[in-house]
């Protein structure tokens, strides 16, 4: 299975956002990864409605929107209208997860569920057949530039085994501390979508870094 690369705009230069979006458009990247933080579920704030509108207007690739916020079910239609193609919510933030997932799909978006580092994968067992993607957080969410939590690799492998055992085809996305050096081991473990922020935008040649993450060579 060929893997995808989704540059995280959290690490982009917001003073030159149009430039960085154009860079990703011209690269081998597959999606734009957009983190939305509410300052409550995670200890940080990130992009709001005007910025997401601007990203959608400029982007030539799908928007992979990750909601790090409480009660995300209230805002599903809003993010559809903003242009999200994939919408991911946190297991830890949803009281009625199945309902939220169905609402995402009813609004014409792919549905993802994210797990924080401390949350075991077995909590998703009953809902896996309904998901298009599971996002494994390999750092504690809220800030970019953190170091990959080593135990995340085994977590990904166990999730991949569940996917195979149940004959399912959902994507496994990983976000946090993804580098050119560890990307191959992540894909070998079962990851199909690599999210990378600082690794890409802080590199001397972001387009070349994206190419290396795609080709893993």
For the chain, give every domain's residue range.
Answer: 4-215
**Cα distance between residue 29 and residue 200, in whole Å:** 11
Examine the residue annotation and report whether 175 is marked as an active-site residue of this protein: yes
Closest CA to 134 of 110, 113, 152: 113
Q: What is the mean pLDDT of each run of 10 residues along the chain (217 residues)?
A: 90 92 97 88 75 93 94 93 96 94 97 95 96 93 70 94 96 94 95 96 95 87
Q: Which of 20, 30, 35, 132 is catalytic?
A: 35
Are 127 and 100 within 8 A, CB to CB?
no
> What's the confidence (pLDDT) of residue 139?
81
Using CA atoms, how far apart are residues 160 and 15, in angstroms rounded to an integer? 39
Token pair 């193609």: residue: 85
Cα 36 from chain centre: 11
Whole-number Å distance between alpha carbons of 121 and 21: 33
Specify the 3-state DSSP secondary structure of 136.
strand
- pLDDT computed for residue 9 by the predictor: 94
pLDDT recorded at residue 144: 60
Residue 43: its pLDDT value, please?
73
Q: Which of 64, 132, 171, 175 is catalytic?
A: 175
pLDDT of residue 176: 87
Q: Which residues contact 212 (CB under 8 A, 6 or more apart)?
A: 180
Architecture of domain 4-215: Alpha-Beta Barrel (3.20)
Angle at 152 between CA 118 and CA 192, to 5 degrees: 120
The pLDDT assigned to 207 comes to 96
Task: Residue 200: name the closest of 53, 30, 77 by CA.
Answer: 30
Written as six digits, the tokens of 61 are 């690739």
**Closest alpha carbon to 79 in 120, 114, 51, 59:** 51
Closest to 59 in 3D by CA, of 69, 77, 47? 47
């Amino acid at each position: 299975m060929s893997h995808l690369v989704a540059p995280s705009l959290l690490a982009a230069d917001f003073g030159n956002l149009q430039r960085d979006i154009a860079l990703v458009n011209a690269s081998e990247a597959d999606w734009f990864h957009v983190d939305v933080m509410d300052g409550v579920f995670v200890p940080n704030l990130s992009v709001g409605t005007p910025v997401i509108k601007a990203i959608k207007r400029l982007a030539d690739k799908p928007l992979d929107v990750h909601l790090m916020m409480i009660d995300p079910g209230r805002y599903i239609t809003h993010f559809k209208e903003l242009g999200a193609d994939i919408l991911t919510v946190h297991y830890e933030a949803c009281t009625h997860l199945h309902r939220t997932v169905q609402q995402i799909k009813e609004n014409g978006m792919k549905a993802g569920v994210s797990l924080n580092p401390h949350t075991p994968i077995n909590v998703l067992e009953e809902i896996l057949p309904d998901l298009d993607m599971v996002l494994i957080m390999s750092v504690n969410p809220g800030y970019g530039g953190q170091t990959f939590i080593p135990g995340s690799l085994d977590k990904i492998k166990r999730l991949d085994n569940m996917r195979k055992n149940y004959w399912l085809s959902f994507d496994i996305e990983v976000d946090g501390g993804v580098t050119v050096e560890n990307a191959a081991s992540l894909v070998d473990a079962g990851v199909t979508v690599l999210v990378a922020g600082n690794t890409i935008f802080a590199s001397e040649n972001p387009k070349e870094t994206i190419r290396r993450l795609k080709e893993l060579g």
